[in-house]
Amino acid sequence: MQLITNWFKRTFSDPQVMLLTVLLVLGFVIVVFMGHMLAPVLASLVIAYLLEGLVALLERRHAPRLLAVTVVIVLFMIFVTLVMFGLLPLLSQQATQLVQQLPNMIAEGQQLLMALPERYPEIFSQQQANDLMAVIRGEIASFGQQVLSVSLASVTGLLTVLVYLVLMPLLVLFFLKDKGRIIGWFTRFLPHDRAFVNRIWADVDRQIANYVRGKFWEIMIVWAVSFATFSVLGLQYAMLLAVVVGLSVIIPYIGATVVTFPVLLVGWFQWGWGSDFVTLTIAYLVIQALDGNVLVPLLFSEVVNLHPVAIIVAILVFGGLWGFWGVFFAIPLATLVNAVLGAWPDQAEQDVELITPKDA
């Protein structure tokens, strides 16, 4: 108990460490308890943070900040427009076609499942096949109910999307244009002696910026390569599956494993156990291998390497707290935690060094 008390006094006796703790707790409380109300503001803040890299790039090329912000906002709106009116309708069309084909796929899968007891009687019994089919039917019925509930709530979701489309571009514009004023107003309430907090933020900012920028390019490259591969092979729903494969890199390890099943299942239902299916499997595994062994080390060479256990724990914890956004920012948030934990012992050692000469 005395050891814990001494550590607590030594660590939190420093005002700068206390300031960092208060800021972290305050940010956590705001996101957890006010995240739904402030969702447009938080999402706009994240987007503005991501776009700030392009603004800074233009400023380094001697462009005025207002001009740089205007150019970046216009490019961002063009990108959003292309996604909404170019990509989303195609994805919706392919998703609709896939849903319409599900009954045929289920029937074919049922035939294959029912043939297993005849082919492998020593492994599968007829009762096991029937039980498995009952479970699959139950899961399909549950999925259908979820789809129906989503469709019934589509009007509310559409209104929410319209509000976001109006509010978020304005918020992003103001966050970028008035960045200096907003930061200046916020820092007015902070102590002048905050070198420790600034050092932590500088490290975290560099790591998060490198991670998000690298993750964006990883998504785009994996998406493009997957779409080109699926199109050449003649795989159905090529764009839909390519987008899913590209977005799967957001969740390290888990995403690539989960997305393998729909890709191979669509290929199997389209070609069966033929050579085309084997080619698809090999090509998909090559894409995943190149992504993990070539693309990731190339794009994330400057990012702090976290242990796979830490990454999985971060995905589970932050995903459970904040859903999709928690999963998306699990690695940056884990980087923040890692930077804070790594800096605190250094600060404590500095305090001991300052105290020791006086005691001597």
Q: So what's the pLDDT on residue 155?
A: 46
Q: Rounded distance, CA 17 to CA 13, Å?
A: 8
CB atoms inside a 10 Å sphere around CB 339 = 21
Q: Tell me the average pLDDT across 11-39.
A: 71
Question: Cα dist. 334→198, 314, 316, 327, 342 in Å?
Answer: 18, 6, 11, 11, 12
pLDDT tens figures, 123-155: 777 777 777 777 776 766 666 566 555 544 444
% of the chain at pLDDT higher than 90: 11
162-167 long-range Cβ contacts below 8 angstroms, 24+ apart: 163/40, 164/40, 164/43, 167/40, 167/44
Q: What letter would DSSP give residue 155?
A: H
Residue 270 lies in a domain: yes
Number of domains in the chain: 1
Question: Which of the four pLDDT bands, split at 50, 70 and 90, describes residue 359?
Answer: very low
Residue 65 lies in a domain: no
Q: What letter would DSSP give residue 26?
A: H
Token readout for 30 is 């705001």
Is 75's pLDDT higher than 70?
yes
Residue 334 lies in a domain: yes
Q: So what's the pLDDT on residue 4?
A: 66
**Burial readout 173-187 (b: 16 or more C-beta within 10 A, e: otherwise):** bebbbebeeeeeeee
Phi-psi region of 62 (alpha: psi -120 to 50; beta: other; left: phi over 0): left
Q: So what's the pLDDT on residue 324?
A: 67
pLDDT tens figures, 221-238: 999 999 999 999 999 889
Q: So what's the pLDDT on residue 35?
A: 65
Is 106's pLDDT higher than 90?
no
pLDDT tens figures, 234-261: 998 899 999 999 988 887 777 888 888 8
Q: Between 204 and 274, name the one with better pLDDT.
A: 274
Q: So what's the pLDDT on residue 354?
A: 43
Tokens 């390019």 appear where?
Answer: 217
pTM over cut 0.85:
no
Contacts (Cβ under 8 Å, ≥6 apart) of 353? none
Q: So what's the pLDDT on residue 144?
A: 59
pLDDT tens figures, 160-178: 667 777 788 888 888 888 8
Q: So what's the pLDDT on residue 74?
A: 92
Q: So what's the pLDDT on residue 342?
A: 66
Q: Between 218 and 109, name the one with better pLDDT.
A: 218
How far apart, in Å, do the first and last CA atoms of the chain sit? Answer: 27
Question: Cα dist. 19→24, 198, 343 in Å?
Answer: 9, 11, 14
Q: Rounded distance, CA 158 to CA 220, Å?
A: 27
Residue 175 lies in a domain: no
Q: Rounded distance, CA 48 to CA 176, Å?
A: 6
Residue 287 lies in a domain: yes
Residue 81 lies in a domain: no
Q: Can you give the residue range of the structural domain that contains 243?
A: 196-353
Residue 223 lies in a domain: yes
Q: Rounded distance, CA 18 to CA 241, Å?
A: 48
Residue 272 lies in a domain: yes
Q: Tell me the average pLDDT across 108-134.
A: 73
